[in-house]
Structures are given as structure tokens and as C-alpha cells.
Amino acid sequence: MRQFQTHFFLCVPLLLGSLIPLTGNAFNFILLAFILLLAWKSNKQFRTDIKAGKSLLLVNAAFFLYFSIQTIIILAKGNLAAKPNYGMFESLLLCFILIPVYVSTWRSWISPRLLQKFLLNFCLGCLALNTYALVHVIHSFELKSVKETFLFLYDTRFAANRPLLGTTLWLEAQATLLAIAAIASYFLFIVRQKHRLLLFLLFIILTTFLSFTMTKSAIIGFILGFILVNIFLWRRLSSRMKIIFSLLAIVVATSCFPLAKHFPKQLRINEIKQEIHNIQ
């Protein structure tokens, strides 16, 4: 059972990064089936883990109680933005119950190595989904060249909310998962000693996908936050890594300078005006 639990634990991030953003509540029922199986097969250990993690469950129960009271007040006032329907609160309740229960069962067997694999699988799941989405966009809109593809992706924010695999890939969910995956891949690049080049390449690809889903101001904000984080991490790096990062910074700066020098100012002014008009 422990081996099956470990395999399931490593499959969850793959689903979280790839299919779950498309399937929605399907993950709740997969998790419900696993928890019922775990409670049946390892009843004693399951009850011990739940008791040990009761503080985590109480926090989520308190928040769900607050949400329920707030919902009752809104229903009493009658000014609803949308009519409540079956499935809204049931899925929310499943999230507040199943996820804390599942996390509580980790206590007896989780390890730093498994957590690193969890994050890596999540990053790979995001990479797979967004690679497929990129191919789908290129094929659907018949983009012929690399320049045309990049311009289209940045102008439309990765084609915004679009149909994919029989459902809709929502831009907000996609951007959030990509941001988490990019940060996780960079964390793995710092922590892990093996395959650092591949992890850094994974970080670059995920960050590029993330830039497609964001406005230019959001991209600048993400870069500034990334720079601030690296200032704090700089002192912990070895001399070799400091030299490598310095060389990479020089290469990026010298590559971007000619582009910034020849970038038409009037075009940027028109883009800012259009963005302000879209917000209004």
C-alpha cells in the first residue's frame, strides 16, 4: 500500500499541471476514491495521521464555516450575481475536506526527495500542457513563421480563453499554474545537484510560456521580483555559480540592448494607449 501511495503521490502533480486545469471537478472524485481506499486498507495509520493533522483540518473547517455564513447572508439579501446551482458548493466542500485529509496522510512517509519529485512532475505536467496548447494555437490560426507566432502570442496573450481537448483552457488558471511551475523549477535548479542545465532550461521554457499569458507590465513586475529574490540568494551561491550567472546576465543584457535601441517608440506609445483603452 505504501508503494501505491507513493506512486499516486507522484501522479497527482502530473495531473495538476496538465489535465486537471481542463477537467475541473474530476480530480476531486479521483482523490475521494483514493482516500476511501486508503482508509479501508490502512485504517489504523489513516486515523493516526488524521488525528495528528487535526489543526490543519480545523483551519479549513473554520474557513468553510465563514464562507457558508457569508453565502447565507448574500442569499438572504437576494442580490446575486448568478443563481446558485447544484455542484457549486459540493465541489467546494470536497476541496476543503479532501485536500487537507490527503495532506495529513503524508506525515508518516514524506521525504524531501519525494517533494522534489513532486515539484518536478508538476513542472513537467505544465510543460506538456502548454507545449500542446502552443502547437494547437499554431495549427488553429495557421501561423507560418516564428516571428508571426511570437507576435500573435504576445498580442493575444496565448490566444486567451480558448477551446482545448473538448473543454476550455482558462487564461487565469493557465497563468497561475505557469507562475508556480516557473518558481518551482528555479527552486529545483538551486537545490538539486544533478541535471542543473536541464532544470535551468525547463525554467526558461516555462518562463517564456508565462510571458505569453501576461501583459508587459506584469512581465516587468515578475522580472523585478525575480531579480530581488536572486539578490538574497546570491550570497549562498558558490564562486562557480556566481561566474555562470554573471556571464548569463551579460549575454542577456547585450542581446536585449540592440533590440531596445531599435524598438520604435511610437509603436510602444500606441500599445500603451491601447492597453489603457482596454482597461477602460
Q: Which amino acid is at 78?
A: G
Consecutive H or E run containing 167: strand 167-169
Residue closest to 95 by CA, chosen among 39, 33, 27: 27
| Averaged pLDDT for residues 126-146 | 87
pLDDT tens string 188-246:
887 877 787 888 888 888 888 888 887 666 677 777 777 777 666 666 666 776 677 67
> So what's the pLDDT on residue 217?
64
CA distance 91 to 83: 16
pLDDT tens string 124-135:
999 999 999 888
pTM above 0.85, yes or no: no
Consecutive H or E run containing 164: strand 162-164
CA distance 136 to 164: 8
**Angle in degrees, CA 236, 237, 243, rounded to 5:** 150
The answer to whether residue 258 scores a pLDDT higher than 60 is: no
Question: How many Å separate Cα 222 from the centre of its chain?
Answer: 14
The answer to whether residue 114 scores a pLDDT higher than 80 is: yes
Residue closest to 176 by CA, chosen among 222, 138, 133: 222
Coil, strand or helix at 163: strand
70-75-81-83 Cα dihedral, nearest 10 degrees: 120
pLDDT grade for 262, boundaries at 50, 70 and 90: very low
